[in-house]
Amino acid sequence: MVMRMLKSNGTSVVLCKAVMMLVLIAAVMLLASCRRQEQSGPAVEQPPAPATLTQEDTPAAEEEEMSWQLESSAFEDGANIPIEYTCSGEDVSPPLTWADPPEGTAQLALICDDPDAPAGTWVHWVIYGMPADVRKLPRAVPPEETLTEPVVATQGSNDFRTVGYQGPCPPSGAPHRYFFRLYALSEELELAPNATKADLVAAMEGKVLAEAKLMGKFAR
């Protein structure tokens, strides 16, 4: 009986020591983990790197873009184009005026087109080769390839396959938008008369200093 008790007590002592050792190991591991967490600190979300601004995104560029405007005494930007400047009237070009172009401008060019046409953008006017000191196009610019009066300029062909300006003539329905875009160019263009819009756009590539825009609407 005594021997059995001794053996039983010995086994209990061994088990107790083993349990205590496991508890000690777990405590050491928990302490080490806590120390590592204190050293590293909580995870912090890093802000994204700031985007690189292009010149077009800067306020100075926006101010310069807004400072050059194209206007007409016949209609305001976004308003209806009077019937006399359309195929339902006299079908003559409207008067246009603009302020001084940017410094370094060598020549001016203008395109008028309708992006709402059923077959795609429809070109109404292509005029280029205007000297940098020109500040207006008067009403009813003659439909001639080469102009010396009332302004020095060269005119291209429109999508009606005529030279010069041919006004809005949309199918009946909702109003169409007609954009007059004036370009300040850094170089003079070597472009023959009767050029298309595509010809002019290709010739202007890399030479546009600024663009002024006027939009009018018309419906039949």
CATH 3.30.530.20 fits domain 67-218 = no
Whose structure tokens read 């209806």?
A: 80
- The pLDDT of 21-43, averaged and rounded, is 48
The answer to whether 107 and 128 are in contact (CB under 8 A) is: yes
Residue with tokens 């009946």: 172
> How sure is the predictor about 166, in pLDDT bands with cuts at 50, 70 and 90?
very high
* DSSP secondary structure string for all residues of the chain: -HHHHHHHHHHHHHHHHHHHHHHHHHHHHHHHHHHHHHHH-S--PPPPPPPPPPGGGSHHHHHHHHHS-EE-SS--TTSBPPGGGSTTTT--PPPEEE-PPPTT--EEEEEEEETT-TTS-EEEEEEEEEETT--EE-SS----SEE-SSS-EEE-B-TTS-BS-----PPSSSPEEEEEEEEEESS-----TT--HHHHHHHHTTTEEEEEEEEEEE--
- What average pLDDT does the segment 93-97 reach? 98
pLDDT > 70? residue 88: yes
- The chain-wide mean pLDDT, for the chain, equals 81
Separation of alpha carbons 176 and 168, rounded Å:
8
The per-residue pLDDT for 67 is: 78
Task: Check: CB of residue 128 under 8 Å from CB of residue 189.
Answer: yes
Q: Summarize pLDDT for 96-138 with one digit per residue, the tens.
A: 999 999 999 999 999 999 999 999 999 999 999 999 999 999 9
- Over range 46-69, report the average pLDDT: 42
Provide mean pLDDT across the span 198-202.
98
High-pLDDT (> 90) share of the chain, %: 70
At 86 the pLDDT is 98
Output the pLDDT for position 21: 64
pTM: 0.71
Tell me the average pLDDT across 206-215. Answer: 98
pLDDT digits (tens, 9 = 90+) for 170-191: 999 999 999 999 999 999 999 9
List, for residues 130-164, the tens digit of each pLDDT value: 999 999 999 999 999 999 999 999 999 999 999 99
Mean pLDDT of 41-65: 34
The dihedral region occupied by 196, where left means phi > 0, alpha psi between -120 and 50, and beta the remainder, is: beta
